[in-house]
Amino acid sequence: DTEVTQTPKHLVMGMTNKKSLKCEQHMGHRAMYWYKQKAKKPPELMFVYSYEKLSINESVPSRFSPECPNSSLLNLHLHALQPEDSALYLCASSPNDRVISGYTFGSGTRLTVV
């Protein structure tokens, strides 16, 4: 299994809703990432988990809350989002904490906040 699986693929939520994005990998990778990508922009790092511990938070607003329940799963909990948070949310993983061979990205969740 060489995939990173993200669910759902599309999500529309209101500004008062609470929702969660899910990411799963079974490659034995020990580092997992959340990136945000706006249209025609490069991906921007949000969070890094290494060995199931949060190691990097790129000053992300608290309405985004990451969680790593185990080495295969990564969640992103969303609450009270703004329309400007609409974007493609990408999960990625890498074998270890050195990113020597790059990330494997999931197919992404396209989020629309209304």
Does position 11 bind another protein by CB under 8 A?
Answer: no
Does position 66 bind another protein by CB under 8 A?
Answer: no
Does position 72 bind another protein by CB under 8 A?
Answer: no
Stretch that binds another protein, among 15-23, 61-69, 70-78, 92-100 (CB under 8 A): 92-100
Nearer to another protein, 15 or 56 (CB): 56
Residue 21 Ramachandran class (φ > 0 left, ψ -120 to 50 alpha, else beta)? beta
Q: How do beta strands 109-113 and 10-13 pair?
A: parallel
Let me know the angle formed at the C-alpha of 56 by 50 and 60, rounded to the nearest 5 degrees: 135
The site map against another protein for 12-51 (x = CB under 8 A) is -------------------x-x-------xxxxx--x-x-
Does position 87 bind another protein by CB under 8 A?
Answer: no
Name the one residue in this structure whose structure tokens are 């020990």: 30
Q: In the bound complex, what is the minimum distance in angstroms from residue 102's beta carbon to another protein?
A: 5
Stretch that binds another protein, among 12-20, 21-29, 73-81, 102-110 (CB under 8 A): 102-110
